[in-house]
Every structure is written in structure tokens, then in C-alpha cells.
Amino acid sequence: MASNQTLLVTGANGYIGTHVVGLALERGYNVRATARSESSINNLRSLFPDSSHRISFAIVPDITKYESYQDALAGVTGIIHTASPFILNPKNNETDLLQPAINGSLAILEAARLYGSEVKRIVNVSSFASIVDVAKGYRLGYTYTEDDWNPMGYEEASKTDSGSAAYCASKALAEKTMWRWMGENTAVGFTLANICPPWVFGPYLGTPDLGRLSESMGLLWKLIDAKEVPPTDFGGCADVRDVARALVGAVETPAAGGERFLVGGGFDWQTAADLVREEVPEAKSRIPEGRPGYGRMEERYAVDGSKAERVLGLKYTPLNATLRDSMQQLIEVEKASKSA
């Protein structure tokens, strides 16, 4: 890829964002990375010391205001938007989740329209949460695809006592808002694609803080020394490296414009426990056995991520490799912290 192209990566210091920055640099792009603070930018500098000539930075303190991006979009040809709230226990559904998700999605579109004259493609990190109908539970025999939408509306989401249901609704409402905006602004010079992963696992770039893991990786880490295998409430997952490949691939693939992609495959906690016990000897005695093998026999909905394979050329990382690489890294961090 020609190095005269510059990608803007929002939320670049996040779990997914760092992988996107690394992959974009690897593929020859210049990267403009946005983060909310100077400390986040310093962390990014430390992660990519050999690429200082191809990475620039912009502080965006408020992702819900389009004017925050005014100085970030000069010369940018593509945007990968990873910045969005991921909170499963909001104190206030509207102010913590719904409004930031919706307004943040609108802000990046408006910013591209106003300040991004060279932008040709925006790729947004949505979620399987925008696809799944939480109220229907396991939906035995059903297969979720990109044609499905989480049906929860704003009013119901603002009042629900379920933080996870509110989060799922926030992703669906934000993505729907983006598609509606695109339909109302057909004269813009860019197209939109949405990437919809379920739980995202996989190793961090850099050294993670065990006390500040992503929601999904935090749940995986809680398997360690757990008394029992937790029930499966979200039956899908993706490797963070696959998500990054899908995001960059959706910038590069002409046919991705105007499309959404469910990126990932099936998941259950019993199978996760089984695989970690098999793949990570150090963890075996610390992972609950549960009912080995039973996870694969449980009946629940399926997750069809084949469109990303067909259109983006994505090759999925096997689940055992994702879980092995994740848990080995976290255990190494734990060992290092105990010996420090």
C-alpha cells in the first residue's frame, strides 16, 4: 500500500485501536492516531518507536463533538473509528451509553463531511450487540447474520435495568444512526462500512494492566481461580487481530462500502474453560472444570461470520489460539507483577 495514504484511527490507544495502528503501519500507511490525553499518546509512541516518521497524533478530548476532529483530518483518506463507550454497568443509561454512542457516531461523520475532503471510506467498529436480539435468548437453531438487527428502541434502552441490554441497544442505535445519516447525505465523497464483532479476545499490544482490562478480556481473566464456569450470555467472539484485519481490510476493499460485517464465530464459556485448560498448562489447576465437552453440545444460536471471509478475504484465527495467546499473556503479566 502506498505510504502517501493516511488513515485516521480514533481511540487509537484502546485495545482494538492499538492493533489497528500496528497493522496499518505494517501495511505501509501513514497513521494519524487520536486519543483523549497526552499520556495515551505517550503510550502509543512507546508502542511504535520505529514508526515515528509515519505516525502523527491528535488529542480529541470529546469524541461526541465534531469540531474536536478539525485539526485531525488534513490529508486523511480513510477513517477507522474505534472510539466508543463500552460499559456494561452504567449508572445512567442515557448519559453513560446511549448519548455518547449515538453522538460519537454522528460526530465522526460530520467531521469527515466538514474537514475531510480527501476521505473516501469510514469504517466503524459496531458490535454483534447491534445484531443480536437479547430478549430472544439462546434462539435454538437460529443463525445470526448481518441481516439481523437488535430491535430495542431508545426509550426502552434508556429505562432498562439491564446494563448489558442498554449497551447492546446503544451499539444498534448508533449504527442505525450512521446508516440513516449516510442516506440523508448522499453527496458526501465517502462510503461507510461497519464491523460487528462479539466478545473480543486476544493478546494486547504492549503490557496490559490487569486492573484495567477491556470488558471482554476482563471476563476471560475472571476464569482464573473462579469457583465455577459462568453461564454463556453472549454466544460469539472474535480475535482482536482478526478484528484489526477486518477494519483495515474494509478500508482497502471497494466492495465493503455500504456494508456491515459480522466478524467472529461461536463461543461458550465451557468450551473456553476446556481450551484454556488444554492449551495453557500453567492455568490448568486454576480454571474450573465445569462439565468438560458440554459446551459444544449446548443448543444456542449460531454466528455466521462468513461474509467477512468472502468479501474481505478474512481468515479467522482458531479459538484455541486466541484463548491460548490471551491467557498466556495475562499470566505472564501476573507473574511479573508478583516478582516486582
Three-class SS of 13-72: CCHHHHHHHHHHHHCCCEEEEEECCHHHHHHHHHHCHHHCCCEEEEECCCCCCHHHHCCC
Low pLDDT (below 70) residues in the chain: 1-3
Instruction: Compute the distance between CA of residue 21 and CA of residue 248 in angstroms, rounded to an integer.
Output: 9
Q: Are 166 and 100 in contact (CB under 8 A)?
A: no
pLDDT value of residue 4:
82
- The predicted pLDDT at position 3 comes to 64
Closest CA to 337 of 168, 208, 229, 158: 208
What is the enclosing helix (H) or strand (E) of 281? Answer: none
Residue entry with cell 430478549: 135
Interior angle at CA 62, CA 58 and CA 67, nearest 5? 70
Residue 83 to residue 13: CA distance in whole angstroms: 9
Contact yes or no for 138/67 (Cβ under 8 A) = no
Kindly report the pTM of this predicted structure: 0.96
Question: What is the tens place of the pLDDT at every residue in 249-279?
Answer: 999 999 999 999 999 999 999 999 999 999 9
Amino acid 87: pLDDT: 76
C-alpha cell at position 69: 476532529
Domains of the chain: 6-339 (3.40.50.720)
pLDDT of residue 208: 95
Check if the beta carbon of residue 20 is closer than 8 Å to that of residue 83: no
| pLDDT at site 299 | 81
